[in-house]
């Protein structure tokens, strides 16, 4: 059998989602060599429809990385959201509650496209459609990634490996049993999501709590609406013809006045289970885990992408310090620093989910009454509204150096 072709790099990055691509860009800007390996094709990752809310910190970072031009031109800046219940809207004004901060609506796949273009432009290595990725020697000073690419067996020797390969990736699985602790919550519902070629029926996002469960009206552009509704986790796509989807959305999103939801062709449909998951610590030997590979949040707080970006920002700075002068103090604290934000975000995402969804096992309606009381409080108390607003736009500081 032929010997595998072998090369080395400073940082081997597994996965070209937002975590892997932002990390690659930040390393590139510091003159640190990296190779990104991605299982899917370029076309697939650029078309995959995911979330689309960028916190101010993520927007700022895109600009600092020199990849923010299209986002600034095409992204939709929002200064608040609507909470809809009892068929009435209540506006949460982020700008007034958080000293002028807001969010930008820009699809995750657009972020991914911009980062891929910048990486290829910089001539930095990014390989798509790699197969049979496996990691070895994580405890050593030269961990190894083995993979197949273009029909050839290859090996990549690294100083460190960044596991940015999402929830179903291989990196976390490679860590020896017992080295990580897992925290998991599966919610008893999922999100049915559609992309509609219809102008949004709202200027800002609507988070709606209705008798039939949660619904969300989001968007991607002035021509594209993104809509979701809470459904059973076992629901089947084929049981939902377009008319049934629209009927459900109309019923849930109904408002007491003459507001109406504009329909259009559905160009994408999917069901996403709702799960919270954290693996701790976010590091083993020379493997650093980031993004969905190490934590998942339910989408109600729109935090998945922002959390992934926040991890790799910490990691890039820590690697910069280490490669520059051998100081590993930031690498040592990587997991602790990130986990403070992860748990704050888990709490916020759980809180939003709990406040807005119907729980199927809520036989006497106790949970629904609590959610309703919380919604009323958020819509009547500035302190409660500020809690939602400052978490939604993204806290600049989380936790303190004890």
User: Using CB atoms within 10 A of its CB, is residue 375 exposed (0-12), middle (13-18) or buried (19+)?
Assistant: buried
Q: Using the minimum distance from each CB to ligand APR, give the nearer residue, 102 or 299.
A: 299
Element (H, E) at 123: none
The pair of three-digit structure tokens given for residue 108, joined into one six-digit string = 């995750």
From ligand APR, ligand PHB, none, which one binds at residue 52 (CB under 5 to 8 Å depending on kind)? ligand PHB
Contact criterion met (CB below 8 Å) for 88 and 375: no
From ligand PHB, ligand APR, none, which one binds at residue 164 (CB under 5 to 8 Å depending on kind)? ligand APR
Within 106-223, strands assigned E span 126-127, 131-136, 144-149, 152-163, 181-196, 206-210, 213-221
Q: Using the minimum distance from each CB to ligand APR, give the nearer residue, 21 or 198.
A: 21
The pair of three-digit structure tokens given for residue 385, joined into one six-digit string = 């509204």
**Residue 53 is a binding residue for ligand PHB (CB under 6 A):** yes
Applying CB under 6 A, the span of 18-26, 90-98, 115-123, 338-346 interacting with ligand APR comes to 18-26
Residues 309-338 touching ligand APR, rule: CB under 6 A, are: none
The pair of three-digit structure tokens given for residue 175, joined into one six-digit string = 């860590």
What is Dmax (Cα atoms) for the chain?
73
**Residue 52 is a binding residue for ligand PHB (CB under 6 A):** yes
Out of 164, 205, 315, 342, the residue judged to bind ligand APR by CB under 6 A: 164
**Residue 195 is a binding residue for ligand APR (CB under 6 A):** no
Applying CB under 6 A, the span of 50-58, 71-79, 144-152, 335-343 interacting with ligand PHB comes to 50-58
The pair of three-digit structure tokens given for residue 226, joined into one six-digit string = 């993104």
Out of 111, 302, 305, 337, the residue judged to bind ligand PHB by CB under 6 A: 302
Q: Using the minimum distance from each CB to ligand APR, give the nearer residue, 84 or 172.
A: 172
How far, in Å, CA of 26 to CA of 61, rounded? 10
Residue length of the chain? 402
Which of these, 6, 276, 319, 297, lies nearest to 159 by C-alpha position?
Answer: 319
The pair of three-digit structure tokens given for residue 107, joined into one six-digit string = 């699809």
Would you call 225 helix, strand, or coil by DSSP?
A: strand
Out of 11, 13, 15, 35, the residue judged to bind ligand APR by CB under 6 A: 15
Out of 143, 299, 320, 394, the residue judged to bind ligand PHB by CB under 6 A: 299
Catalytic residues: 78, 207, 299, 303, 392
**Those residues with Cβ within 8 angstroms of residue 370's Cβ, 6 or more apart along the chain or in another chain:** none
Residues 203-262 touching ligand PHB, rule: CB under 6 A, are: 205, 216, 218, 226
**Residue 35 is a binding residue for ligand APR (CB under 6 A):** no
**Residue 159 is a binding residue for ligand APR (CB under 6 A):** no
The residues that touch ligand PHB, with contacts defined as CB under 6 A, are 51-53, 205, 216, 218, 226, 299-300, 302
């Amino acid at each position: 059998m032929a010997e595998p072709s072998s090369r080395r790099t400073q940082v081997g990055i597994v996965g070209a989602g937002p975590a892997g691509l932002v990390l690659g860009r930040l390393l590139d800007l510091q003159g640190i060599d990296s190779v990104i390996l991605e299982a899917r094709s370029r076309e697939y990752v650029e078309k995959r429809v995911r979330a689309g809310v960028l916190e101010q910190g993520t927007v700022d970072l895109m600009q600092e990385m020199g990849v923010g031009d299209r986002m600034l031109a095409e992204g939709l800046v929002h200064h608040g959201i609507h909470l809809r219940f009892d068929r009435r809207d209540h506006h949460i004004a982020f700008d007034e509650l958080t000293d002028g901060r807001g969010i930008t609506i820009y699809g995750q796949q657009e972020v991914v496209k911009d980062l891929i273009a910048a990486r290829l432009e910089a001539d930095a290595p990014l390989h798509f459609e790699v197969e049979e990725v496996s990691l070895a020697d994580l405890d050593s000073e030269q961990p190894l990634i083995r993979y197949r690419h273009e029909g050839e067996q290859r090996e990549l020797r690294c100083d460190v490996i960044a596991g940015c390969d999402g929830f179903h990736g291989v990196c976390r699985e490679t860590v020896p049993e017992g080295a990580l602790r897992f925290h998991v919550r599966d919610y008893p519902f999922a999100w049915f999501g559609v992309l509609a070629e219809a102008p949004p029926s709202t200027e800002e996002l609507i988070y709606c709590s209705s008798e039939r469960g949660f619904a969300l009206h989001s968007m991607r552009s002035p021509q594209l609406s993104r809509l979701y509704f809470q459904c059973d986790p076992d629901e089947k796509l084929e049981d939902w013809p377009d008319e049934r989807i629209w009927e459900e959305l109309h019923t849930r999103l109904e408002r007491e006045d003459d507001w109406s939801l504009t329909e259009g062709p559905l160009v994408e449909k999917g069901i996403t289970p709702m799960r919270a998951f954290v693996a701790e610590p976010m590091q083993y030997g020379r493997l650093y885990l980031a993004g969905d590979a190490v934590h998942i949040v339910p989408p109600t707080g729109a935090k998945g992408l922002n959390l992934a970006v926040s991890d790799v920002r910490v990691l890039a700075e820590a690697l910069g310090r280490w490669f520059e002068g051998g100081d590993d103090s930031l690498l040592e604290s990587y997991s602790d620093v990130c986990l403070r934000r992860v748990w704050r975000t888990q709490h916020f995402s759980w809180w939003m989910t709990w406040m807005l969804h119907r729980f199927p096992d809520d036989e006497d309606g106790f949970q629904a009454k609590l959610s309703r009381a919380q919604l009323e409080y958020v819509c009547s108390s500035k302190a409660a509204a500020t809690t939602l607003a400052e978490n939604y736009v993204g806290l600049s500081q989380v936790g303190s150096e004890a």
